[in-house]
C-alpha cells in the first residue's frame, strides 16, 4: 500500500463517520450530536431516540450500503469497458429498472408498493442481460458493449416515455417519486431486505481486485497473462449488475455516484484495484450520506431527493475533473 | 458505422430524381397529417370548405401543426447531419450529444429564474444547447485536436443526464410547471398555432441556407482534420460553425415542441444510405426526409392511441430507438 | 520444444489464414514479414490463442493449445500486443508485477520468487530507476520497454512481439530490437512481427515470409532474402546488398527511370486535384 493510500483510507473512514453522525442529527427535527452518541450506545431514551432509531439510523445505514455498492459497480464497469466515462447506467440498470417499474404498475395497478423493489431488480438485471447477450452476437469489445448499452437504454427510455404520457398521472406518480433516487421513508424493513446481499457482493467484489487489475490491461494482454477473459468478464459484469440493481431497487436512481466515486478515488490513490475498490466504496458511501442529509437540511420540512443533489453538485464537479485530468489511452 | 454507409461516396441516385422522390414523400406525409385528427369527420375534402367548423379545424389547428412538424423535421435532421459531419461521428445527434437536454435546461432556467425573465426563450434554449455542445466536445477532447468517438458519446450521455436532472430540479421549484413537464420533455406539438410556426420558420429557413453554405466544408471534414486543413478549411472553424448552426436549429425546435430525439440520428443515416455521402445533396434531402418523417409521425400520433393523442416525440422514439439498436448490434466496424 | 502449426485456418470475418503449416524451432529469433494485410499479425494472435482457430492445430512444446487452460499457455508464451492498453494510475513496478499473474493465485499474492523475477526484469530492460513513475507519463520508448519488462517477468520460454517498433523513433526502435536480441541470447524463443525488412534481416535468425494469408518462404535471411523474393511478395523492384559494417542484408528500392510513368503520375495528380 502506498503512502497516499495509507493517508487516504483512514481519512475517508473518519469523514464518513462524521457525515454519518451529522446525517443522524439533521432533518425536520434537529438532534444534537451528543444525544446521538448517547442513543447509539444506548445511554438515553426519549422522543429523539425514536426518530433516530426508527427513521434516521436505518436510512443512513442504507445510504452507506447502497452508495458503496454503486461505487463498486462503477469501478467494475469502468475497468471492463476501459473508460472512465462509463457507469452502471451504461449497462442499462437505471433505464431497465424504470421501465419495469412503470410497466408493472400500469399492467397491475393494485401491485403493492412493497413489490416494486423486486420488479426494479428484475428490470435492471434483464436490461443488463439483454445488453450482454446482444453484444455477444458479434465479437465482444468494450466499444460494442458501450454502444449497445446506450441503445438499449434509449429503447427503455422510449418505453418509459410512452407509458408516462399515455397512463393517467395518478397511476404513475407513486412509482415516479419512488424512482427519483431518494431515501425518504426507507426503514429497517428495506435495510434488512438488502443488507445480506449487498454486503456479501461488496465483499466478493473487494476480493476480486487482482482480476480487475488484469482485465484493465485489455483483452489481448489479459489473455496473454492467463486470464479466461470471457468467463471473468461475465462474472464481473454479473456482480456489477447485481450491486447496482439491488441498490436501485431500494433507493431508486441516485445518479452519478457510480460515475464520480471511482473517478475521484482514482485521482486520490491511483489505479490499483486493491486500494481503488475500498477507496471508491468509501467515497460512494460518503456522497450518498451527504446528499441525503443535505437534502433534509436545505428546505425543511421538505426534502430534496438525494438523486437530484448528486446530479446538481456532482456533475459539474465531475466535468471539472474530467477536463483537468489526462486523456486515457485505449486499446 | 454501417458498412453500407460510405463516408464520401458518390450519389447513388441522380440528383433531380432524389429531390423529386423526397418531395413526393413529403407531400403525401403532409396530406396524411392534414387528414387525421380528433375530429374524424373532418378530412381532406374539407380543404376547400369555405367556412364553418371544418375550415377552422383545418386552417387553425391542423395546418399550423402540419407546418410545425415540417419545420421541426427540417431543423432537427439538419442539426443531426451537421453534427455527424462536423464531429466525424455517425452517432452524433442533438439528443445523444446532450444538445436537446441542454436546450431544455436553458428553457427551464428562463422560465423559473427571475434573473432571465427579460431574455427571449429561444435565446435561452439556444444558449443551453450551445453550452451543452461545448461541454460535450471539451470532454471528448474535441478542442485539443483529437476527438475520441466513444468519449464523445459517453460525454454526451453524461451531459444529457445532468441537464435533465437539473430540469427536473427546476420544475420541482415551480409547482405549476411540474404538471406539464413530463409531456413536454418528450416532445409535443399538440397545441401549436401560427405564431410558433413563424418562429420556427424564422430560424429554420436561414438555418437551411447556412447548412447549404457549409456543405462543402462538411464534405472536406470527412477527409480528416489534416486533409481538411490542407485544403483550406480549418476543421476547428467548421466544428464551431456547425455547432452554432446545430444549436440554433435545436434550440428553436426545443423551445417550440420540447426535445424530440432520433430525428437527427435516423434521418441523416437514411439519407446517406439512399443518396451517398455528398453533403451538397445530403443537406436538402435530409431536410425533406426529416420533414416527411415528422409529418408521418404526427399523423400516427393522432391515430395510434385515439382518442388520446400520443406526443409526436414518443412516436418518433418508438421508431428511432429500435433502429439505433439494430445499427449498434449489427454494424460491422464501429467508427 | 517448438511451435508447430498444422493446416491453420483463422481470421476476422472475411480474411482467413489459409492452410498455414509451419514449424518455429525453439531457440530461434523468428521474424514474420510480409506486405500489409498478409496475415502476419493474425498468425501471431492465433499462436497466442487470442483469435479462435477455424481449423488446424497449434502445438506449443508438443501440447495442443486448444485443450490447454489459458493460464497454462500464459506460463509458456508471453505476448507484447501492438497497441498495449496503458491503464491509468499504474506505476511501472506495478505493471511489471502483473507479468507474474500466470504464476500466482486468484488474488495475486506475491511470493519471494515473484519479487525476484520482477526485480530481474526491471534490471534486464534497464528501467529499474523508472519503477515508481506512472506508465501513462512515460515516453513512447520507455513505455515499450516497460511492457517488454512485463513479458520478461512472465518468465516464459516463448515471447511473441507484435510490431514492437511501430511508432517509435529510430533510436528507440534499435533499443527495443537490441533488447529483443539480448532476450534471445538468454535462451528465449522469440517470434516478432516486423514491418521493416532491414530490421528483420539484421536481427532475426529465421524469417517467415507471408503473402495473402499463406506461407511464402522460410529460411535464414541470408538464404532467402533476394530481389526476386521481395518483388514477388511486395511487388517492388529492389536491390539487396550487404551492410558494409554488420554484413546483414539491406533492401533498397531501384529508382524508376521510365519517363512515361512519371508523366502518367503527374497527370493523375492533376485529375485528383480537379
Are A245 and A265 found together in one domain? no
If one compares A104 and A31, the residue with the highest pLDDT of the two is: A104
- What ipTM is given for this predicted complex? 0.80
Q: Which residue segment(s) compose the domain that A294 sits in?
A: 1-57+254-325
Q: Which of A83, A155, A308 is opposite residue B168, by nearest beta carbon?
A: A308
- Are C187 and C27 in contact, with CB atoms under 8 Å apart? yes
Q: How many Cα atoms are found within 13 Å in the side-chain-facing hemisphere of C59? A: 12
CA distance A211 to chain C (A): 7
- Are A326 and A84 in contact, with CB atoms under 8 Å apart? no
Residues from chain C contacting residue A270 (CB–CB below 8 Å): 89-91, 134
Domain membership of residue B267 (yes or no) is yes
Q: Can you tell me the distance from the alpha carbon of C3 to that of C62, in angstroms, rounded to the nearest whole number?
A: 8
**For chain C, what is the total number of helices (H) and then of strands (E)?**
10, 12
- Are C3 and C23 in contact, with CB atoms under 8 Å apart? yes
Residues of A with CB under 8 A from a CB of B: 83, 85-86, 89-90, 134-135, 137-138, 141, 143-144, 146-148, 150-152, 154-155, 157-158, 161-162, 164-166, 169, 180, 255-256, 259, 304, 307-308, 311-312, 315-316, 318-319, 322-323, 327, 330
Q: Which of A260, A273, A263, A266 is nearest to A217 (CA)?
A: A273
Q: Which residue segment(s) compose the domain that B91 sits in?
A: 15-330
Spatial CB neighbours of C132, under 8 Å, sequence gap ≥ 6: C91, C92, C93
Grid coordinates 478515488 are at which residue?
A265
Q: What pLDDT is recorded for position C190?
A: 95
Best residue in A150, A173, A254, A328 to probe B by mutation, most B CBs within 10 Å? Answer: A150
CA distances to A169, A172, A180, A305, A307 from A177, rounded to whole Å, are 12, 9, 5, 9, 11
- A82 touches C: beta carbon within 8 Å: yes
Q: How many Cα atoms are found within 13 Å in the side-chain-facing hemisphere of A13? A: 6
> What pTM was estimated for this model as a whole?
0.83
Q: Which of C39, C44, C67, C85 is nearest to C190 (CA)?
A: C44
Are A123 and A49 found together in one domain? no
Average model confidence (pLDDT) across chain B: 79
Domain membership of residue A115 (yes or no) is yes
Containing C5, the helix (H) or strand (E) segment is strand C2-10
Best residue in C89, C95, C96, C155 to probe A by mutation, most A CBs within 10 Å? Answer: C89
Whether residue B257 has pLDDT greater than 50: yes
Instruction: Give the total number of structural domains in chain A.
Output: 2
Using DSSP bridges, classify how beta strands C77-80 and C53-60 pair: parallel, antiparallel or unpaired: unpaired
Quote the percentage of chain B above a pLDDT of 70: 79
Query: Strand locations in C34-154, DSSP E?
Result: 53-60, 63-64, 77-80
Q: Which of B146, B158, B185 is opposite residue A259, by nearest beta carbon?
A: B158
Neighbours, chain A (3 or more CB pairs < 8 A): B, C
Are A131 and A172 found together in one domain? yes
- A4 touches C: beta carbon within 8 Å: no
Q: What pLDDT is recorded for position A159?
A: 84
Residues from chain A contacting residue C154 (CB–CB below 8 Å): 224-225
- Are C160 and C24 in contact, with CB atoms under 8 Å apart? no
What's the mean pLDDT in A17-42? Answer: 75
* Lowest model confidence (mean pLDDT) among A66-70, B9-13, C95-99: B9-13
Q: Can you tell me the distance from the alpha carbon of A148 to that of A158, in angstroms, rounded to the nearest whole number?
A: 15
Query: Strand locations in C62-188, DSSP E?
Result: 63-64, 77-80, 158-162
Instruction: Report CB contact under 8 Å: A223, C70.
Output: yes
Are A239 and A265 found together in one domain? no
Instruction: Report CB contact under 8 Å: A272, C106.
Output: no
Containing A326, the helix (H) or strand (E) segment is none
CA distance B50 to chain A (A): 36
Q: What pLDDT is recorded for position B44?
A: 67
Are A139 and A248 found together in one domain? yes
**For chain A, what is the total number of helices (H) and then of strands (E)?**
16, 0
Burial A68-93 (b: 16+ CB within 10 A, else e): bbbbbbbbbbbbbbbbbbbbbbbbbb
- Are B263 and B320 in contact, with CB atoms under 8 Å apart? yes
What's the mean pLDDT in B154-167? Answer: 82
Residues from chain A contacting residue B312 (CB–CB below 8 Å): none
Are A125 and A137 found together in one domain? yes
Residues from chain C contacting residue A81 (CB–CB below 8 Å): none
Are A238 and A274 found together in one domain? no
Are A133 and A101 found together in one domain? yes
Q: What pLDDT is recorded for position C117?
A: 93
CA distance C81 to chain A (A): 7
Instruction: Give the total number of structural domains in chain B.
Output: 1
Domain membership of residue B335 (yes or no) is no
> Minimal Cα distance from C79: which residue of A?
A224
Domain membership of residue B319 (yes or no) is yes
Are A240 and A262 found together in one domain? no
The dihedrals phi and psi of C9, each to the nearest 5 degrees, come to -125, 130
Which CATH number goes with the domain that contains B62?
1.10.3470.10
What's the mean pLDDT in A239-250? Answer: 92
Residues from chain A contacting residue B169 (CB–CB below 8 Å): 304, 308, 311-312
The dihedrals phi and psi of C226, each to the nearest 5 degrees, come to -130, 160
Residues from chain A contacting residue C88 (CB–CB below 8 Å): 84, 266, 271, 326, 328
Whether residue A208 has pLDDT greater than 90: yes
Domain membership of residue A95 (yes or no) is yes
> Minimal Cα distance from A315: which residue of B?
B162
Are A128 and A241 found together in one domain? yes
Domain membership of residue A80 (yes or no) is no
- Are A209 and A274 in contact, with CB atoms under 8 Å apart? yes
Are A238 and A95 found together in one domain? yes
Q: What pLDDT is recorded for position A285?
A: 95
Q: What pLDDT is recorded for position B2?
A: 36
Q: What is the DSSP string of A133-146?
A: HHHTTS---HHHHH
If one compares B327 and A224, the residue with the highest pLDDT of the two is: A224
Instruction: Report CB contact under 8 Å: A216, C48.
Output: no
Instruction: Report CB contact under 8 Å: B153, A89.
Output: no
Best residue in C74, C75, C85 to probe A by mutation, most A CBs within 10 Å? Answer: C85
Instruction: Report CB contact under 8 Å: A210, C71.
Output: no
Containing C207, the helix (H) or strand (E) segment is strand C206-211
- B139 touches A: beta carbon within 8 Å: yes
Please report the residues numbered 11 through 70 in chain B whose beta carbons come closer than 8 angstroms to any beta carbon of chain A: none
Domain membership of residue B3 (yes or no) is no
Neighbours, chain B (3 or more CB pairs < 8 A): A
* Structure confidence by residue, pLDDT tens digits, A312-321: 777 777 777 7
Q: What nine digits make up the cell of A62? A: 442504507
Q: What pLDDT is recorded for position C16?
A: 75
Task: For residue B253, say if its preceding peptide bond is cis, omega within 30 degrees of 0.
Answer: no
Q: Which of A85, A137, A158 is opposite residue B317, by nearest beta carbon?
A: A158
Instruction: Report CB contact under 8 Å: A226, C72.
Output: yes
- C99 touches A: beta carbon within 8 Å: yes
Grid coordinates 469502468 are at which residue?
A78
Domain membership of residue A184 (yes or no) is yes
Quote the percentage of chain B above a pLDDT of 90: 8
Most confident residue range from A107-111, B219-223, B319-323, C258-262: B319-323
Domain membership of residue A330 (yes or no) is no
Domain membership of residue A49 (yes or no) is yes
Which CATH number goes with the domain that contains A137?
1.10.3470.10
- A53 touches C: beta carbon within 8 Å: no
Are A190 and A306 found together in one domain? no
Domain membership of residue B253 (yes or no) is yes
* Structure confidence by residue, pLDDT tens digits, C14-73: 567 888 898 998 999 999 999 988 888 889 989 988 888 888 899 998 889 888 888 899
Neighbours, chain C (3 or more CB pairs < 8 A): A
Domain membership of residue B7 (yes or no) is no
CA distance B17 to chain A (A): 34
Q: Which of A165, A315, A316 is opposite residue B183, by nearest beta carbon?
A: A165
Whether residue C266 has pLDDT greater than 50: no
Whether residue B47 has pLDDT greater than 70: no
Domain membership of residue B127 (yes or no) is yes
The dihedrals phi and psi of C250, each to the nearest 5 degrees, come to -120, 150
Q: What pLDDT is recorded for position B237?
A: 80
Domain membership of residue A221 (yes or no) is no
- A209 touches C: beta carbon within 8 Å: yes
Instruction: Report CB contact under 8 Å: C70, A228.
Output: yes
Instruction: Report CB contact under 8 Å: C107, A209.
Output: yes
* Structure confidence by residue, pLDDT tens digits, B199-231: 889 988 999 999 988 888 888 877 776 677 777
Angle at B231 between CA B228 and CA B236, to 5 degrees: 40
Residues from chain A contacting residue C156 (CB–CB below 8 Å): none
Domain membership of residue A284 (yes or no) is yes
Spatial CB neighbours of B114, under 8 Å, sequence gap ≥ 6: none
Residues from chain A contacting residue B321 (CB–CB below 8 Å): 151, 154-155, 157-158
Amino acid at each position: 500500500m502506498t503512502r497516499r493510500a495509507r493517508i487516504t483510507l483512514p481519512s475517508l473512514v473518519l469523514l464518513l463517520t462524521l457525515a454519518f453522525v451529522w446525517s443522524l442529527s439533521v432533518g425536520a427535527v434537529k438532534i444534537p450530536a451528543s444525544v446521538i452518541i448517547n442513543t447509539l450506545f444506548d445511554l438515553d431514551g426519549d422522543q429523539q431516540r425514536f426518530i433516530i432509531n426508527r427513521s434516521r439510523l436505518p436510512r443512513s445505514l442504507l445510504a452507506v450500503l447502497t452508495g458503496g455498492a454503486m461505487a463498486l459497480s462503477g469501478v467494475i464497469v469502468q475497468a471492463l469497458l476501459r473508460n472512465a466515462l462509463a457507469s452502471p447506467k451504461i449497462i442499462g440498470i437505471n433505464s431497465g429498472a424504470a421501465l419495469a417499474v412503470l410497466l408493472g404498475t400500469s399492467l397491475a395497478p393494485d401491485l403493492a408498493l412493497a413489490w416494486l423493489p423486486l420488479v426494479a431488480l428484475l428490470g435492471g438485471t434483464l436490461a443488463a442481460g439483454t445488453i450482454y447477450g446482444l453484444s455477444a452476437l458479434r465479437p465482444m469489445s468494450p466499444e460494442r458493449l458501450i454502444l449497445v448499452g446506450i441503445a438499449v437504454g434509449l429503447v427503455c427510455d422510449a418505453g418509459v416515455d410512452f407509458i408516462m404520457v399515455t397512463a393517467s398521472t395518478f397511476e404513475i406518480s407513486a412509482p415516479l417519486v419512488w424512482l427519483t433516487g431518494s431515501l425518504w421513508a426507507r426503514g429497517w424493513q428495506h435495510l434488512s431486505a438488502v443488507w445480506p446481499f449487498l454486503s456479501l457482493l461488496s465483499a466478493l467484489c473487494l476480493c476480486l481486485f487482482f482480476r480487475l487489475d488484469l482485465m484493465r490491461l485489455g483483452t489481448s494482454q489479459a489473455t496473454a497473462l492467463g486470464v479466461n477473459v470471457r468467463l471473468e468478464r461475465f462474472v464481473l459484469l454479473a456482480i456489477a449488475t447485481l450491486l447496482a440493481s439491488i441498490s436501485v431497487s431500494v433507493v431508486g436512481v441516485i445518479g452519478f455516484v457510480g460515475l464520480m466515486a471511482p473517478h475521484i478515488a482514482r485521482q486520490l490513490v491511483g489505479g490499483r484495484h486493491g486500494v481503488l475498490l475500498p477507496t471508491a466504496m468509501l467515497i460512494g458511501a460518503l456522497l450518498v450520506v451527504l446528499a441525503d442529509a443535505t437534502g433534509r437540511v436545505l428546505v425543511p420540512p421538505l426534502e430534496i431527493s438525494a438523486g437530484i443533489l448528486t446530479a446538481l453538485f456532482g456533475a459539474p464537479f465531475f466535468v471539472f475533473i474530467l477536463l483537468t485530468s489526462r486523456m486515457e489511452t485505449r486499446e | 458505422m454501417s458498412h453500407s454507409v460510405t463516408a464520401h461516396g458518390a450519389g447513388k441516385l441522380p440528383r433531380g430524381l432524389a429531390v423529386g422522390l423526397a418531395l413526393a414523400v413529403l407531400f403525401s406525409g403532409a396530406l396524411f397529417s392534414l387528414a387525421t385528427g380528433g375530429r374524424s369527420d373532418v378530412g381532406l375534402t374539407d380543404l376547400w370548405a369555405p367556412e364553418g367548423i371544418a375550415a377552422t379545424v383545418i386552417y387553425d389547428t391542423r395546418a399550423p401543426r402540419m407546418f410545425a412538424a415540417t419545420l421541426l423535421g427540417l431543423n432537427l435532421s439538419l442539426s443531426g447531419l451537421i453534427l455527424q459531419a462536423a464531429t466525424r461521428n455517425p452517432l452524433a445527434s442533438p439528443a445523444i450529444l446532450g444538445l436537446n437536454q441542454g436546450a431544455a435546461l436553458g428553457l427551464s432556467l428562463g422560465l423559473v429564474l427571475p434573473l432571465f425573465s427579460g431574455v427571449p426563450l429561444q435565446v435561452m434554449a439556444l444558449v443551453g444547447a450551445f453550452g451543452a455542445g461545448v461541454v460535450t466536445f471539451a470532454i471528448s477532447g474535441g478542442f485539443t485536436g483529437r476527438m475520441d468517438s466513444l468519449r464523445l458519446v459517453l460525454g454526451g450521455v453524461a451531459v444529457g443526464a445532468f441537464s435533465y436532472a437539473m430540469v427536473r430540479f427546476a420544475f420541482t421549484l415551480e409547482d405549476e410547471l411540474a404538471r406539464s413537464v413530463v409531456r413536454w420533455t418528450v416532445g409535443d406539438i399538440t397545441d401549436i398555432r401560427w405564431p410558433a410556426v413563424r418562429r420556427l420558420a424564422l430560424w429554420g429557413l436561414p438555418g437551411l441556407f447556412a447548412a447549404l453554405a457549409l456543405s462543402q466544408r462538411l464534405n472536406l471534414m470527412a477527409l480528416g482534420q489534416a486533409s481538411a486543413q490542407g485544403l483550406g478549411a480549418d476543421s476547428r472553424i467548421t466544428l464551431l460553425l456547425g455547432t452554432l448552426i446545430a444549436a440554433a436549429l435545436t434550440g428553436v425546435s426545443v423551445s417550440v415542441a420540447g426535445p424530440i430525439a432520433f430525428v437527427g440520428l435516423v434521418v441523416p443515416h437514411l439519407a446517406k444510405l439512399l443518396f451517398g455521402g455528398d453533403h451538397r445533396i445530403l443537406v436538402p434531402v435530409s431536410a425533406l426526409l426529416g420533414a416527411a418523417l415528422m409529418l408521418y409521425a404526427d399523423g400516427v400520433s393522432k391515430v395510434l392511441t385515439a382518442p388520446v393523442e400520443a406526443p409526436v416525440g414518443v412516436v418518433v422514439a418508438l421508431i428511432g430507438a429500435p433502429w439505433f439498436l439494430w445499427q449498434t448490434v449489427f454494424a460491422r466496424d464501429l467508427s | 520444444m517448438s511451435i508447430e502449426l498444422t493446416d491453420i485456418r483463422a481470421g476476422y470475418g472475411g480474411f482467413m489464414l489459409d492452410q498455414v503449416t509451419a514449424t518455429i524451432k525453439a531457440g530461434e529469433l523468428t521474424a514474420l514479414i510480409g506486405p500489409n494485410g498478409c496475415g502476419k499479425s493474425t498468425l501471431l494472435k492465433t499462436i497466442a490463442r487470442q483469435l479462435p482457430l477455424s481449423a488446424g492445430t497449434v502445438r506449443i512444446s508438443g501440447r495442443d493449445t486448444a485443450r490447454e487452460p489459458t493460464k497454462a499457455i500464459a506460463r509458456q508464451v508471453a505476448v507484447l500486443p501492438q497497441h498495449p492498453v496503458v491503464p491509468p494510475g499504474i506505476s511501472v513496478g506495478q505493471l511489471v508485477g502483473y507479468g507474474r499473474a500466470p504464476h500466482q493465485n486468484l488474488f495475486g499474492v506475491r511470493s519471494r520468487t515473484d519479487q525476484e523475477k520482477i526485480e530481474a526484469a526491471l534490471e534486464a530492460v534497464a528501467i529499474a530507476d523508472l519503477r515508481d513513475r506512472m506508465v501513462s507519463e512515460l515516453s513512447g520508448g520507455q513505455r515499450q520497454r516497460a511492457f517488454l519488462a512485463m513479458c520478461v517477468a512472465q518468465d516464459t520460454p516463448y515471447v511473441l512481439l507484435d510490431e514492437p517498433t511501430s511508432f517509435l523513433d529510430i533510436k528507440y526502435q534499435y533499443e527495443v530490437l537490441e533488447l529483443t536480441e539480448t532476450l534471445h541470447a538468454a535462451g528465449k524463443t522469440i517470434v516478432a512481427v516486423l514491418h521493416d525488412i532491414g530490421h528483420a534481416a539484421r536481427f532475426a535468425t529465421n524469417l517467415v515470409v507471408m503473402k495473402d494469408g499463406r506461407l511464402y518462404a522460410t529460411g535464414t535471411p541470408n538464404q532467402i532474402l533476394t530481389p526476386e523474393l521481395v518483388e514477388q511478395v511486395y511487388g517492388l523492384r529492389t536491390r539487396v546488398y550487404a551492410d558494409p559494417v554488420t554484413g546483414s542484408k539491406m533492401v533498397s528500392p531501384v529508382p524508376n527511370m521510365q519517363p512515361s510513368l512519371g508523366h502518367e503520375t503527374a497527370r493523375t495528380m492533376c485529375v485528383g486535384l480537379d
